[in-house]
Amino acid sequence: MVYGGYSYLDFRYTPSEEDFVVLMWVSGRCKLEKLAEAVASESSVGTWTEIKTMNEYVFEHYRARVFKIIKVRENAGFVYIAYPLEHFDVKNFNQFQASVLGNIFGMKELDELYILDIKFPRKFQKQFSGPKYGLWGVRKYVGTEKTGRPHVGTIVKPKVGLAPEEFAKVAYEAWINGLDLVKDDENLVDQSFCKWEERFNKVFDVMDKAEKETGEKKLYCVNITDSSINRMIERLEKVKERGHNCVMLDVYVLGITALEYMLELTKKYKIIVHAHRAGYAAWHRGNFGVNFQVLEKIYRMFGVDQLHIGTGVGKMEGGALLIKRFHEIAEKHSGEEKLYLGSLDFEFEKHIAPIMPVASGGLDPGKVDALIEIHGKNVTIQAGGGVHGHPDGTATGAEALRQAAEAIAEGIPVKEYATSHSELKKALEKWGYLEPSLIIARLEIERNSEILNEIVLREGITAMKNVVWKV
């Protein structure tokens, strides 16, 4: 089997420590081997036909190698490809994207192409500094490194429409009643009804007041995302001038180049970066896509401090097993391969610190016990509607969410804690209580990894999307 006059299949090849390893699902209109070779060729040194300019050295040293194929059907299956480090302009991540995540998605032979995971060699990782603060730096700033309780926060709702004074009032009520964090929503930046600078100044004023009254450090994740680098820099400088230590970036829509540049500045200014992933699902849902775990590794290497990774129990897609894996990538330094999740083993360089996972989307105090079964205590629990929708309003909603976090810290079930805390009790009466045993049962399915693998090997990515990832 050859593509363009050359063979990219090398089943005797063992990837070196300096290779990038890519795991993908491939399906198309010819045999899987040919499809795999087409992808390997297009993403490395080859093209559709034999060329006179190819030489033995180039082909031997720079080509991608298909070193493993797991067939589900004659024309579909899992493909493992190794790329040599020398193939890439290693200080230029856009070139890596153009190679491995670029033209291959437009090849007409393919009906499905989904990049499940990428293993980045440690030598490549050394050029990235990782987060300035990360999980433990954020905990130290907020003052929870000893208690170890989950952080709690809210998104001011409605998403857009409130004037700066109204926004600041909601933020103050949230902070004064126990929340650690208040953030802008992803689509609020500098609209006419709530200009960025006025909103930031008013919210900073009430945050300063809340810190003095509670004796706790607070975070305001003010959204500085913009299509103009200059405007983002201006906002960043205003944040620094006022003595604040946190901003929010919509990292997916910013793109790699702008993100890398802004992270260099935030590290220089010693500012915590809260990373919102709005838009990533366009790269993930469908027959052609890239799994979020690839982006997550990139964002951690680049150095965001907090990152939305999903909940496993809320309104956004992603089941308990998959979100638990995302949490591992955020918090751990290494992890084993899990084929049923489409995950390769991973190992971060020691200097790339863990990041604070953020669980957000459809949460309320009644889901906290179940959420902790997936994430553990090292998580920021964000509830928008689950705070402001409390029967008694934002202040009581904030109290209820903080009470749920305190229950976790004390090792008391939230449902039991609610019997002596009326604010929490009312929240559970409105939204109900998700029994953690349901999530525990889903996570225990992982013990039957061989069965999960069998299902995936029999049905392919359809089983991942419809069975395993939704568990």
Instruction: Please tell me the distance from the alpha carbon of residue 254 to that of residue 143, in angstroms, as a whole number.
Output: 31
Phi and psi at 459, nearest 5°, equal -115, -10
- Residue positions annotated with a catalytic role: 157, 276
Lowest mean pLDDT among 94-108, 252-266, 294-308: 94-108
Split at pLDDT 50, 70, 90, the class of 466 is: confident
Please list the alpha-helical segments (H only) found in 44-163: 56-62, 93-100, 122-125, 134-142
Instruction: Please tell me the distance from the alpha carbon of residue 31 to that of residue 367, in angstroms, as a whole number.
Output: 46
- Residues 336-364 have a mean pLDDT of 96
Could you tell me if 290 and 113 are in contact, meaning their C-beta atoms sit under 8 angstroms apart? no
Q: Helix, strand, coil % (nearest 5) of the chain?
A: 45, 15, 35
Partnered with residue 248 across adjacent β-strands are 223, 274
Q: What is the pLDDT of residue 46?
A: 75
Split at pLDDT 50, 70, 90, the class of 4 is: low
Q: What is the pLDDT of residue 471?
A: 77
Could you tell me if 246 and 224 are in contact, meaning their C-beta atoms sit under 8 angstroms apart? no
* Structure token pair of residue 178: 């126990």
Instruction: Please tell me the distance from the alpha carbon of residue 226 to that of residue 190, in angstroms, as a whole number.
Output: 9
Q: What is the pLDDT of residue 35?
A: 96
E-state strands within 15-129: 20-28, 65-73, 76-83, 110-119
Instruction: Please tell me the distance from the alpha carbon of residue 104 to that of residue 112, in angstroms, as a whole number.
Output: 11
Instruction: Please tell me the distance from the alpha carbon of residue 56 to that of residue 340, in angstroms, as a whole number.
Output: 38
Burial 297-314 (b: 16+ CB within 10 A, else e): bbbbbbbbbbbbbbbbbb
pLDDT in tens, 277-306: 998 888 888 889 999 999 999 999 999 999
Split at pLDDT 50, 70, 90, the class of 48 is: low
Instruction: Please tell me the distance from the alpha carbon of residue 39 to that of residue 65, in angstroms, as a whole number.
Output: 10
Instruction: Please tell me the distance from the alpha carbon of residue 373 to that of residue 25, in angstroms, as a whole number.
Output: 30
pLDDT in tens, 412-439: 999 999 999 999 999 999 999 999 999 9
Class of domain 20-125: alpha beta
Instruction: Please tell me the distance from the alpha carbon of residue 69 to that of residue 32, in angstroms, as a whole number.
Output: 8
pTM attached to this predicted model = 0.95
Higher pLDDT, 48 or 274: 274
Average model confidence (pLDDT) across the chain: 94
Could you tell me if 99 and 82 are in contact, meaning their C-beta atoms sit under 8 angstroms apart? no
Res 331 pLDDT > 60: yes
Partnered with residue 71 across adjacent β-strands are 77
Phi and psi at 265, nearest 5°, equal -70, -45
Res 1 pLDDT > 60: no
Query: How would DSSP label each residue in 367-391?
Result: GHHHHHHHH-SS-EEE-SHHHHTST
Could you tell me the residue ranges of all domains in the chain?
A: 20-125, 134-439
pLDDT cut 70: percent of the chain above it: 98
Q: What is the pLDDT of residue 61?
A: 80
Q: What is the pLDDT of residue 2?
A: 65
Res 49 pLDDT > 80: no
* Structure token pair of residue 368: 């906290």
Q: Tokens 């399906």, residue?
A: 27
Closest by CA position to 260, among listed 91, 30, 98, 381: 91
- Residues 445-466 have a mean pLDDT of 91
Q: What is the pLDDT of residue 148?
A: 93
Phi and psi at 333, nearest 5°, equal -95, -20
- Which architecture does CATH list for 134-439? Alpha-Beta Barrel (3.20)
Res 56 pLDDT > 90: no
Could you tell me if 150 and 380 are in contact, meaning their C-beta atoms sit under 8 angstroms apart? yes
SS3 state at 25 = strand
Query: How would DSSP label each residue in 149-173?
Result: PPEEEEE-SSSS---HHHHHHHHHH
State the amino acid at position 168 in one-letter form: A
Q: What is the pLDDT of residue 446?
A: 87
Res 91 pLDDT > 90: no
Lowest mean pLDDT among 210-219, 344-353, 403-412, 443-452: 443-452
Instruction: Please tell me the distance from the alpha carbon of residue 328 to that of residue 400, in angstroms, as a whole number.
Output: 28
Lowest mean pLDDT among 1-5, 39-43, 217-221, 270-274: 1-5
Q: What is the pLDDT of residue 351?
A: 96
pLDDT in tens, 66-85: 999 999 999 999 999 999 99
Phi and psi at 228, nearest 5°, equal -105, 120
